[in-house]
């Protein structure tokens, strides 16, 4: 069983750009914090349009400007891209990375998924792990699709020369994934 990974942003403590600094409100910092809140707590983008949410924000920050769900989505994508860039830079400094996969089928959607996680030992000899990709694998789950998803992930993160091991779960399709 794989443990749940933290989704805490790298800039949470202390905030990279405080929303209130030198007595001035910074809406851009609030947008970044809003995106982190949405992603950390798996909130729906539409929650930013709710009257109660905006009342709460205006009460504490009179300068708060309401945002739409599409704008909130854009904030989340921007934060994701920024965090991905930081992780990509970190991975370039790592010597060897082991990759694990976990495949499963959702009961209610009848869809199959695979998560790809990178594991490495940092300079302080601490085990680090990060989710590198979360992909839909169309049924039937075959080795070729699994191998292709892993390879695309490794290429996307530019870690081809750093792979130490690949460990997959006990699914028969995984046997053929590594014969290619």
Q: Lowest-pLDDT range, 4-8, 12-16, 19-23?
A: 12-16
Q: Which residue has 């982190």 as its token pair?
A: 36
Give me the pLDDT at residue 103, please: 86
Q: How far apart are CA 148 and CA 177, in angstroms?
A: 8
End-to-end CA distance of the chain: 27
CB neighbour list of residue 61: distance below 8 Å, 6 or more residues apart: 19, 20, 25, 30
Band (125; pLDDT cuts 50, 70, 90): very high
pLDDT attached to residue 129: 96
Q: What percent of the chain has pLDDT over 70?
A: 81
pLDDT for position 123? 92
Helices 27-40 and 69-92: crossing angle in degrees, nearest 10, is: 80
Using CA atoms, how far residue 120 sits from 77, 99, 126, 127, in Å, is 26, 9, 8, 6
- 159 pLDDT higher than 60: yes
pLDDT at position 115 over 80: yes
- pLDDT, residue 14, reads 46
For residue 24 the two structure tokens come to 């001035």
pLDDT in tens, 40-95: 999 999 999 999 999 999 998 888 999 999 999 999 999 999 999 999 999 999 99
State residue 19's pLDDT score: 63
**pLDDT given for residue 12 in this prediction:** 45
pLDDT at residue 146 in the model: 87
Q: Which residues are paired to 97 by β-bridges?
A: 163
In our burial notation (b when 16+ CB lie closer than 10 A, e otherwise), range 78-102 reads: ebeebbeeebeeebeebeebbbbbe
pTM above 0.85, yes or no: no
What's the CA angle centered on 2, arms 126 and 146, to 5 degrees?
105
Q: How far apart are CA 64 and CA 153, in angstroms?
A: 39
């Amino acid at each position: 069983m794989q443990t749940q990974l933290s989704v805490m942003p790298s800039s949470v403590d202390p905030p990279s750009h405080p929303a209130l600094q030198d007595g001035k409100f910074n809406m851009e910092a609030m947008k970044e914090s809003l995106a982190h809140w949405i992603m950390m707590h798996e909130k729906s983008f539409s929650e930013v349009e709710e009257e109660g949410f905006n009342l709460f924000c205006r009460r504490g920050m009179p300068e708060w400007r309401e945002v739409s769900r599409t704008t909130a989505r854009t904030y989340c994508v921007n934060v994701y891209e920024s965090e991905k860039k930081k992780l990509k830079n970190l991975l370039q400094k790592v010597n060897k990375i082991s990759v694990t996969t976990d495949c499963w089928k959702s009961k209610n959607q009848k869809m199959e998924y695979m998560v790809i996680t990178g594991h490495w030992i940092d300079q302080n000899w601490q085990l680090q792990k990060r989710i590198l990709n979360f992909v839909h694998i169309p049924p039937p789950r075959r080795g070729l699709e699994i191998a292709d998803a892993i390879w695309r992930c490794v290429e996307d993160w530019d870690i081809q020369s750093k792979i130490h091991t690949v460990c997959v779960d006990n699914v028969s399709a995984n046997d053929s994934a590594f014969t290619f």
